[in-house]
Chain A
Amino acid sequence: MNGTLDVILRLVAVLVVFLVLPLVVGQTEHKVMAHMQGRLGPMYAGGFHGWAQLVADGVKFAQKEDVVPEGADRRIFQLAPVVSLLPYLLVMIAIPVGPHGFVGQSIDAGLFFVLAVMGVGVLGSLMAGWASANKFSLLGGLRTAAQLMAYELPMLLAGASVAMAAGTLSLPGIVQAFHWWWIPWQIVGGVVFFTAGLAELQRPPFDMPVADSEIIFGAYTEYTGLRFAMFLLAEFAGIVVLCALTSVLFLGGWHGPWSGSLGWLWTLVKTGLLAFVVIWLRVTYPRLREDQLQKLAWTVLIPLALAQIALTGIVKVVTS
């Protein structure tokens, strides 16, 4: 009975985190972007510095008419936002937050699991792009597919490097095995992983699949209301998941001073800092072209990731 209660508690906690943290990141993005561009950002909703802006947005989305274009492939069109959103919820349960089993659910092959499930989210964009029967959406969908070819491999290889260093695929196990000198040792892999993750999330500078100024938000052109909100939520949940994973794999997760009692805070702080970097990059860099991303991935990221694997292997065998 206790076990059942425990599981229910974990499920509820994961759902709450899944709904709250993306909103926090979203609000931070509003504010940080605004200040970096010398403006104020949302100031009215909720009174204090527009803190309730995203809640107001949510209410607006829920009230909007749900339009499915006549030409669209109806079922697939309606299902697409769900497919792009749910994988991030699944991934969240496997991410360790603190020591002593502070994790939604520890999974043996956790690293493998999260990489595999994160890949499913992209299917949502592909479905949306194809089912909309809209030329812009189709272009967006094709760009998403092309992007998938570019980032998935560097991400896998960088992840494998960490698995080699830790000698386990379990995410809590990886953080357990972490030492401070892993940061310089795995830094190349970390940068590759983070960059590839940005491309997976279709965040600037890799946002050519959505590119609002050229293909009107690509695969999401035809979406309104709640379904559009789900795509947005998926993007921000993706930021949370990517940053949390990067901090768990490459920055030592809960490790830090007083990690015994404040471990969860360290994970949150590292995740938050990385999320800030994600926003910062959006304000800083112009959008790449699709072929520039391919070139970057295949001629820079993959060779770097392979070199990192070689380095990890040598150091590991020499020191063990």
Chain B
Amino acid sequence: MATVASADAVGGVRGTTDVHLAAGYFHAYTVVGLVAVVGVLFVAVAFAAGHLLRPVVPTREKMLTYECGVDPVGEGWAQTQIRYYVYSFLYVIFAVDAIYLFPWATVFAAPGFGGTTLVEMFIFIGFLAVGLLYAWKKGVLEWT
């Protein structure tokens, strides 16, 4: 995507290669899209075939919710205590941070980056680690 933008800015020879890159990019994801179509077709065919093969004999008992063979008590959507919500907060924070690692990972050792970039990254990871240590110290990483 960035390559398309720079194609406009630079133009000329650089622009042509970038157009090729962009074409490859769209080609790749078109094929991925086609795989998804093939997958959906496969599932559709499987279900259609299953529809022809299987019997349909619904009875009252069969349609009941299965809970150990006893008649179900109360609603299926029962209330439970969701104890891992703290993890989900932690997870969201960390996962968003982790996304930034990927673009950085592809360039940090390239000429012109090197040591300084690495130190920056260590500061970044340091923040993550301190956050994790804090959560650990606060005892939210244990249920019992």
Provide the B104-119 mask, 1 if CB < 8 A to any CB of A, else 0. 0111111000110010
Residues of B within 8 A of A163 (CB): 101-102, 105-106
Are B57's CB and A65's CB within 8 A? Answer: yes
Residues of B within 8 A of A286 (CB): none
Are B76's CB and A134's CB within 8 A? Answer: yes
A295→B139 CA distance, assembly (Å):
11
A136→B68 CA distance, assembly (Å):
10
Are A149's CB and B88's CB within 8 A? Answer: yes
Report if B128 contacts A (CB, 8 A). Answer: yes
Residues of B within 8 A of A82 (CB): 40, 43
Tell me whether A67 and B77 are in contact in the complex, defined as CB-CB below 8 angstroms, given that A86-B39, A90-B36, A294-B143 are known contacts.
Answer: no
A226→B44 CA distance, assembly (Å):
12
The A-contacting residues of B in range 64-98, CB under 8 angstroms, are 64-68, 72, 75-78, 80, 82-84, 87-88, 90-91, 94-95, 98
Are A86's CB and B40's CB within 8 A? Answer: yes
Tell me whether A71 and B43 are in contact in the complex, defined as CB-CB below 8 angstroms, given that A90-B32, A160-B102 are known contacts.
Answer: no
Are B87's CB and A150's CB within 8 A? Answer: yes
Report the minimum CB–CB distance from A112 to chain B (whole Å).
6
Residues of A within 8 A of B39 (CB): 15, 85-86, 89-90
Report if A57 contacts B (CB, 8 A). Answer: no
Residues of B within 8 A of A290 (CB): 84
Report the minimum CB–CB distance from A188 to chain B (whole Å).
15
A69→B76 CA distance, assembly (Å):
11
Are B101's CB and A145's CB within 8 A? Answer: no
The B-contacting residues of A in range 130-156, CB under 8 angstroms, are 130, 132-139, 142, 145-146, 148-150, 152-153, 156
Residues of B within 8 A of A15 (CB): 38-39, 42
Report the minimum CB–CB distance from A116 to chain B (whole Å).
10
Are A160's CB and B87's CB within 8 A? Answer: no
Residues of B within 8 A of A283 (CB): none
Q: Which single member of B77, B87, B101 contacts A133 (CB below 8 Å)?
A: B77
Tell me whether A132 and B76 are in contact in the complex, defined as CB-CB below 8 angstroms, given that A298-B90, A309-B101, A316-B108 are known contacts.
Answer: yes
A209→B118 CA distance, assembly (Å):
39
Tell me whether A225 and B50 are in contact in the complex, defined as CB-CB below 8 angstroms, given that A15-B38, A86-B43 are known contacts.
Answer: yes
Interface residues of B (CB under 8 A from A): 24-25, 28-29, 31-32, 34-36, 38-40, 42-43, 46-47, 49-50, 53-58, 62-68, 72, 75-78, 80, 82-84, 87-88, 90-91, 94-95, 98, 101-102, 105-110, 114-115, 118, 121-122, 125, 128-129, 132, 135-136, 141-144
